[in-house]
Amino acid sequence: MCGIVAYLGKKPAQPILIEGLKRLEYRGYDSAGVGLMNNGVIKITKSSGRISVLEELLEPINQAEVLGIGHTRWATHGEPNTINAHPHLDYTGKIAVVHNGIIENYSTLKTWLISEGCKFSSQTDTEVISNLIGYLYAGHNEKGTPTTGQNRFEWAVQRALNELVGTYGLAIVCADFPDMLIGAKKGSPLILGLGENEYIIASDASAIVEHTTQAIYMADNEMVICTSKGFHTKTIDNVEIRKDLKQIEFSLDAIELNGFQHYMLKEICEQPKALNMCLGGRLDHRDGRIVLGGLDKYWREITRAKRIIINACGTAWHAGLVGEFLLENLARINTETEYASEFRYRNPIIDDGTVVIAVSQSGETADTLAAVEQAKERGAIVLGIVNVVGSTIARTTDAGVYLRVGPEIGVASTKAFTAQVAVLAMLAIELGRRKHLGHDVAKFYIDELAKIPAKIEKVLTQSEQIKEIAAATCERENWLFLGRGFNYPVALEGALKLKEISYIHAEGLPAAEMKHGPIALINKGMPAVFIATKCSQYEKIIGNIEEVRARGGRTIVVATEGDENIGKYADFLITVPPAPEELQPLLTVVPLQILAYHAAVLRGHDVDKPRNLAKSVTVE
């Protein structure tokens, strides 16, 4: 969602803030702003639109401005305009705040603050935070006094945070303390980067990595106070805590375009390398077993599971659905894939023998995190499958597996999806081996899984051919994506990718369900994408293709390499190398990613910054 960058050090803050905000553009935003400390005055510059618009409004770099806060906003409360952009000053002009998250009791607090004489200029919930801190700092509420060693600014922040209901990642400055930067976290990610005589607070490591690889990951209800003399961390209840320093596990090179036109294309093409990283050291070919160190202490309980619930949202939900089919087929464990956004508000049945798996690229997805907390409250063992090291879900779950695919910048997830499927496949194979699969069968799947990255390389060579298909079809505004069995979730994912970045209405369906209503949509020339690889339902899906052709639809068919029969059913044909049916989604999804990418570019859209979308959905 929104992005935060804040800097305190010896260098001019403005270029560091702008550079950091650009690193966070992929998270999605509609406005941006910075606040710079200058001789006891906080200078606010902000605008709607892109960061390039903000840059044009900024004054020349001032070497003395070494403290500042910056923000990219994705609108929740209030229109995406300049007034609602962050930072937000309090009514006295002394406190400035940038905020990620949602304050649920902002309306009540705003009404009270107005009655106390505070002025508001925006429609945002964030302005409540700056005004509440400012009100307390000004001494209007003397309930309690600053703890010994605290200044009034720090005390006012703590007092205000204890009144907030909701989620926040915050960076806060005060005009009276030009040498102090405060950060706080609850439910929205926040990292402190430690450089040489400098500190960077950010919502994402990508905004820090150019300056330092040393970071502290803040936990909920924690705050950090930075000055030129050092920093200290404590709870919002003023209890001092010690945080471990972590190494950021990717380099600046990993978040550069490196010659690609877009991050999405780069990440599609990175999938062979990314999967090799994901699988590396985890496939024991000799003994026919899977090694997932993060689960070592829990294999006994997982193997005994009577039921597995996979919680996820969006693309991760589609990966979870593939995982459901894998776990039921290979491990013979009853598995359900739930939308985390629905699970969190239901009264789910979680009894003895239930294992819950949370799948999230960022590890910060608000709905998935809420589902994790609910599952833990009910006594389930909760596992996490996430990409971002140190993320909230990674820290909150009992155990888990990292994807290890490096940062994913493109809003439309690609390499994270294939890695999520690969991790779920490894989990299913190992559980199957421990329960009932013979050594040779387990070894077969392990050996086949190891071949997938090289097979994806072959699929990627068809990019120009797929671009021609996109050129011939992308003007149509309604598409169908159809698959069966293990490729049904791939149909869902293909449709989502096209919707996300091309703004084409697309519907993904099990192919057999088409005749139960959606077949009415088919008209002359309507594109219908079929995943029709060699599988147990091959003949059935051929029949589904015939039904579409009979009604004038144009068929784009993803088929198995060497299938000499399928061509006569396809207006456009894309092939993937042969693979076991259970592992085919790792291959069949790739041409659909490429198709969506080319369609979006041909339609003139910014594929890395699709409208209304954010990379990490950290609010409801």
pLDDT of 142 over the 60 cut: no
> Does residue 590 contact residue 422 with C-beta atoms inside 8 Å?
no
Model pLDDT, residue 508: 94
Mean pLDDT over 81-97 rounds to 93
Cα(77)–Cα(73) distance, integer angstroms: 11
Cα(597)–Cα(463) distance, integer angstroms: 10
Q: Partners of 186 in the beta sheet?
A: 168
Q: For the chain, how big is the Rg over CA atoms in Å?
A: 26
pLDDT of 333 over the 60 cut: yes
User: What is the distance, to the nearest Å, from the Cα of residue 24 to the centroid of all Cα atoms in its chain?
Assistant: 12
> Does residue 209 contact residue 255 with C-beta atoms inside 8 Å?
yes
Mean pLDDT over 61-80 rounds to 86
Which top CATH class is 461-607?
Answer: alpha beta
For residue range 396-414, list pLDDT tens digits in order.
Answer: 999 999 999 988 888 899 9
Burial of 297 (0-12, 13-18, 19+ CB in 10 A): exposed
Among 256-260, 539-543, 597-601, the range scoring the smallest mean pLDDT is 256-260
Model pLDDT, residue 410: 86
**Per-residue tokens: 72:** 């990219």
Q: How confident is the model at residue 2 (pLDDT cuts 50, 70, 90)?
A: confident
Cα(617)–Cα(364) distance, integer angstroms: 7
Model pLDDT, residue 144: 56
Mean pLDDT over 317-330 rounds to 97
> Does residue 46 contact residue 89 with C-beta atoms inside 8 Å?
no
Note the helical H segments in 77-215: 106-115, 126-137, 152-161
For residue range 64-73, list pLDDT tens digits in order.
Answer: 899 999 999 8
Note the helical H segments in 123-210: 126-137, 152-161
**Per-residue tokens: 452:** 């997938």
Mean pLDDT over 461-478 rounds to 96
**Residue 372: which H helix or E strand, with range?**
helix 366-377
Cα(182)–Cα(200) distance, integer angstroms: 11
Indicate the pTM of the whole model: 0.82
**Every domain of the chain and the residues it spans:** 3-248, 256-457, 461-607
Among 49-63, 275-289, 432-446, 602-616, the range scoring the smallest mean pLDDT is 602-616
Cα(407)–Cα(250) distance, integer angstroms: 7
Q: Return the active site residues.
A: 2, 615
Q: How confident is the model at residue 23 (pLDDT cuts 50, 70, 90)?
A: confident
Which residues does 184 contact at the CB level (< 8 Å), separation at least 6?
157, 161, 168, 169, 170, 172, 190, 218, 222, 223, 224, 236
Model pLDDT, residue 247: 82
Q: How confident is the model at residue 316 (pLDDT cuts 50, 70, 90)?
A: very high
Q: Do domains 256-457 and 461-607 have the same CATH topology?
A: yes
Q: How confident is the model at residue 617 (pLDDT cuts 50, 70, 90)?
A: low
Model pLDDT, residue 256: 78
**Tokens 């002359």 sit on residue:** 524
**Per-residue tokens: 501:** 């970045």
The vertex-295 CA angle with 293 and 300, nearest 5°, equals 125
Concatenated DSSP letters of 520-562: GG--TT-EEEEE--SSTTHHHHHHHHHHHHHTTPEEEEEEETT
Model pLDDT, residue 9: 94
DSSP β-ladder status, 334-339 and 307-312:
parallel
Sign of CA dihedral 265, 266, 270, 271: negative
Mean pLDDT over 372-379 rounds to 91
How far is the first Cα of the chain from the last one, in angstroms, to the nearest whole number? 11
For residue range 549-588, list pLDDT tens digits in order.
Answer: 888 889 999 999 999 899 899 999 999 999 999 999 999 9
- Phi, psi at residue 224, to the nearest 5°? -130, 135
Give the count of beta carbons closer than 10 Å to the beta carbon of residue 239.
9
More confident residue, 434 or 252: 434
Q: How confident is the model at residue 310 (pLDDT cuts 50, 70, 90)?
A: very high
Which top CATH class is 3-248?
Answer: alpha beta
CATH architecture of 256-457: 3-Layer(aba) Sandwich (3.40)
